[in-house]
Amino acid sequence: MSNKSNEVVTLLKEYFTDYLPNTRGLSENSIAVYQYAFQLLFGYLRDTKGLSPEKVTFELLSEDTIRDFLQYLEDERDCSIKTRNLRRAAILSFAKFASKKSFATALTFYSDIVGLPKKKEPKIIGYKHFSKEEIGILLKLPNPATMIGQRDVTLLSLLYATGARAQELCDITLEDITLGSPSRVRLTGKGNKSRVVTIPGTCTSILEKYLRSRNLEPTLKAAGSRHLFSSQTREHMTISCIESIVKKYVTTAIKQYPDLFREENYTPHSFRHSIAVHMLEAGDSLIAIKAFLGHTSVSTTAIYAQVTPELASKYLDERGKPLKEAALAFQPQPLAMELPFLYKRR
């Protein structure tokens, strides 16, 4: 090994064997978290770039490399934003240490890591969700004998059955709908990303009745670009209109069923939250719900697991072993032999 190639490993060994335990006085458990971050990093460099530890230099640990590694943690190892930020913090801590020990070669490495910002964790906004009984009540409130009532029961049914965001529902056109066994709808979400969601049979019946009442036919090319829902003044319904419709029926439900609907400030998003909670309660995995809702990260979907302790436990079971067990399980033998200080416990 050349001195330049050896420098990263040499400084890393000093960092773990002396600096963290003696200078900073970190506990064994805290050091284990830092060790695991570098186990993952060196494993990533080996598996994706074919780099053994002795070939890793500070020049190779560029901003792009570390950014790709952090993205890999989210995409391939299903890490939450919080965990991703912890891994970044561990690398940044070593980079700061290395820059003081070897200013000439490690300063750029430190500057690059500083330039990689922490990601904001998804806010637990606390959207209210409906029980299944409350959903049933809401769907019975619109008057199906009127055109407005048919539109509204179809709108509320699709909000719940597809987990659509309000804007996604506004943007549905006739060409997005495929009737059949089963029926499907294409939803276009954030970042113009599309997903296809199956429509349950009961909801399909409501949708078909609504389409017939409007003389709409999804298969006709001439009608394809027409939006599914419109208001009295616009062919393309707006989010504010959907919010008004939801508020109208929730207000009625609260008056008629004072023992139910005990939360405040229900919104169209409450239907999306509700179907996610009900899917979790039915035993669906977070990965399946992530795809259904069109989330880019399972950490966003995990917000729904915080509704009850039981669902939180279900989430923890899915996520696998605790960190300490995972660190022991993830021990590629070549790395454990080449970098023993990353695996050694005091």
Within a 13 Å sphere around the CA of 219, how many CA atoms are in the beta-carbon half? Answer: 5
Provide the sign of the torsion angle of the four alpha carbons 78, 81, 83, 88, taken in this order.
positive
- Cβ atoms of 138 and 250 within 8 Å: the answer is yes
Ranges of each domain in the chain: 3-122+322-342, 132-296
pLDDT confidence of residue 1: 40
pLDDT confidence of residue 316: 45
Instruction: Give the SS3 label for residue 221.
Output: helix
Closest CA to 38 of 8, 60, 63: 8
**19-63 pLDDT per residue, tens:** 999 999 988 888 988 999 999 999 999 999 999 999 999 999 999
> Predicted confidence band at 306 (pLDDT cuts at 50, 70, 90)?
low
- Cβ atoms of 301 and 288 within 8 Å: the answer is no
| Neighbour-count burial of 141, counting CB atoms closer than 10 A to its CB (0-12 exposed, 13-18 middle, 19+ buried) | middle
Closest CA to 102 of 25, 1, 34, 3: 3
Closest CA to 249 of 39, 328, 257, 326: 257
Which spans in 115-266 are helix H? 132-140, 147-162, 166-170, 201-213, 239-256
pLDDT confidence of residue 327: 38
Range with the lowest mean pLDDT among 6-15, 76-85, 125-134, 306-315?
Answer: 306-315
Rounded Cα–Cα distance for residues 76 and 69 (Å):
10
∠ CA(34), CA(12), CA(4), 5° rounding? 145
Task: Tell me what the pLDDT averaged over the chain comes to.
Answer: 84
Closest CA to 90 of 67, 121, 113: 113
Rounded Cα–Cα distance for residues 228 and 172 (Å):
6
pLDDT confidence of residue 304: 63
CB atoms within 10 A of CB 29: 10
Residue 320 Rama label (left phi>0; alpha psi -120 to 50; beta): left
As given in the structure block, the two tokens for residue 190 are 């954030």
- Out of 1.10.275.10, 3.40.1160.10, 1.10.443.10, 2.102.10.10, which CATH number does the structure's domain 132-296 have? 1.10.443.10
Asked whether residue 309 carries a pLDDT value surpassing 70, the answer given is no
Strand residues in 78-229 grouped as ranges (E):
177-178, 183-188, 194-199
pLDDT confidence of residue 104: 83
Closest CA to 229 of 164, 188, 267, 173: 173
- What secondary structure letter does DSSP report for 15? I
Rounded Cα–Cα distance for residues 47 and 27 (Å):
30
Q: How confident is the model over 282-302, as a mean pLDDT? A: 82
**57-88 pLDDT per residue, tens:** 999 999 999 999 999 988 887 777 888 999 99
